[in-house]
Amino acid sequence: MTEPLLRRLAARGERLTVGALPWVAPVYRAMPQVAEVIEFPFAHGGLQLKARRNLARQIEGHFDVAYICPNSLKSALLPFLASIPKRIGYLGEARVGLLTHRLKNPPKNQRPAMVTFYSALSGDDDIAGDRPQLQLKADELATALQQMGLQRGGYDVLAPGAEFGPAKRWPASHFAELAQQLDRTVVLLGSSKEAALCDEIAAPVNAQTPGKCLNLAGTTTLAQAFAAIAAARCVISNDSGLMHVAAAFGVPQVALFGSSSPLHTPPLNAKAAVLWLKNDPDYLPALDCAPCFERVCPLGHTRCLNAITPTMVLQNLLRVAH
């Protein structure tokens, strides 16, 4: 979702280096406007001041401007410690002294879509309509597909995970029922943490139709997962990172929303269908509880996702994948 911001900055002549944690660094290597990626040696959680000071000393004097996308205090520390002259970011978490150019942070219930939120850091006025774009070199795509034993357009991708929590995950049984109805090989993608979830989906399908589901969760690099998505006929996913990857590659997709909101993090893709029962006038009783943005359904029923049927998904898939 930061890609449109980077594309804007590159278009006006800025040479871009992106600092990112190792698990997300491959995303930026798939963006041609990024000249260099620095992988941060930071663990999740904590300020880790010593590590930040060490890296700050290495990069001091190399950069003119820092665009700080996350809202956290620790994300603003490195540019400050590295004495980068111009440090642009949103106010929040006591960052006033760390930033030289501060944007007002709107309340969460008034915050625009995240792509717009990030693009505003550029200072441009005409940021409406920005859409993320990713591309892979033809030889890299072909090599990755060969490594995974996949043929372009010969399969559909299911991404049943959502790191945030179960309130964002469509039931495994629904994914399995949908996979059985699809007329092509089904590739399941996700992290190693989601391998068991993908097994839960693949097992009953393969029991009925041997070899129908290929579970690649936890076995691919992020670059291979990108290739699998880019070359798929279509992608069905929850509101997750892989949903945004599919959107950035322009792949036909169906995105399933429950506890979160497509008004905030939509798949910005002309070939996307979004299923969110909150804004379906025909769905009763109305989901007054959505979006709750909770990891686990506070009411214990997760009706916002359980009530989305495989038939509904298939109907929307047929609409976007023609």
Domains of the chain: 3-122 (3.40.50.2000), 143-320 (3.40.50.2000)
Name, in order, each residue with C-beta under 8 angstroms of 45's C-beta and a sequence gap of 6 or more: none
- 262-277, pLDDT tens digit by residue? 988 899 999 999 999 9
Residues 161/240, Cβ–Cβ less than 8 Å: yes
- Give yes or no for a contact between 198 and 220, defined as CB atoms under 8 angstroms apart: no
Residue 176 corresponds to which tokens in the numbers above? 């399995």
The residue-averaged pLDDT of 7-33 equals: 93
| Statement: residue 108 has pLDDT above 80 | no
pLDDT at 294: 95
Rounded Cα gap, residues 84 and 306, in angstroms:
49
Residue 107 confidence class, pLDDT cut points 50, 70, 90: confident
> Residue 23's pLDDT is what?
84
Q: What is the pLDDT of residue 94?
A: 84
Say whether the peptide bond before residue 4 is cis (omega within 30 degrees of 0): no
Given this model, what pLDDT does residue 30 score?
82
Query: pLDDT tens for residues 44-61?
Result: 777 899 999 999 999 999
Q: What is the mean pLDDT of residues 99-105?
A: 94
Q: Which one, of 231, 258, 238, 235, lies nearest residue 247 by Cα?
A: 235
What are the φ and ψ backbone dihedral angles of 254, each rounded to 5 degrees? Answer: -120, 125
Who has greater pLDDT, 93 or 204? 204
Query: What is the percent of the chain with per-residue pLDDT over 90, rounded to a whole number?
Result: 84
Per-residue model confidence (pLDDT) at position 186: 98
- Give me the helix-helix angle, 241-248 and 222-230, nearest 10°: 50
Among residues 321, 175, 309, which one has the least CA distance to residue 238? 175
Which amino acid, residue 179?
A
Cα 136 from Cα 227, distance rounded (Å): 7
Give CA–CA dist 131/4, Å, rounded: 6
pLDDT of res. 61 = 97
Please state, rounded to an integer, the average pLDDT across all residues of the chain: 94
Report residue 53 CA to chain centroid gap: 30
Nearest CA-CA partner of 227 in 237, 236, 216:
216
With beta carbons less than 8 A apart as the criterion, state whether 89 and 77 touch: no
Residues 6+ apart with CB under 8 A from 46: 74
Predicted confidence band of residue 113 (pLDDT cuts 50, 70, 90): confident
Taking only the tens place, the pLDDT of each residue in 299-313 is 999 999 999 999 999
Q: What does the pLDDT look like over 124-162, one tens digit per residue?
A: 988 888 899 988 889 999 999 999 999 999 999 999 999
**CA–CA separation, 244 and 45 (whole Å):** 24
| Cα distances (Å, whole numbers) of residue 25 to 17, 28, 41, 223, 269 | 11, 5, 12, 10, 23
pLDDT of residue 258: 95
What is the spatial distance between Cα 187 and Cα 231, in angstroms, rounded to a whole number? Answer: 11
Helices 195-208 & 172-181, crossing angle to 10 degrees?
40
- In three-state secondary structure terms, 117 is helix
Tokens standing for residue 267: 């798949």
The contacts found for 124-133 with CB under 8 angstroms, 24 or more apart, are 124/8, 127/4, 127/8, 130/4, 130/8, 130/268, 131/4, 131/247, 131/248, 131/268, 131/269, 132/1, 132/3, 132/4, 132/244, 132/247, 132/248, 132/268, 133/3, 133/4, 133/7, 133/248, 133/250
* Predicted confidence band of residue 239 (pLDDT cuts 50, 70, 90): very high
Residue 168 pLDDT? 96
207-229 per-residue burial string, b: 16 or more CB within 10 A, e: under 16? eeeeebbbbbbeebebbbbbbbb
What are 302's two structure tokens?
Answer: 């997760």
Write out pLDDT tens, residues 211-227.
999 999 999 998 899 99
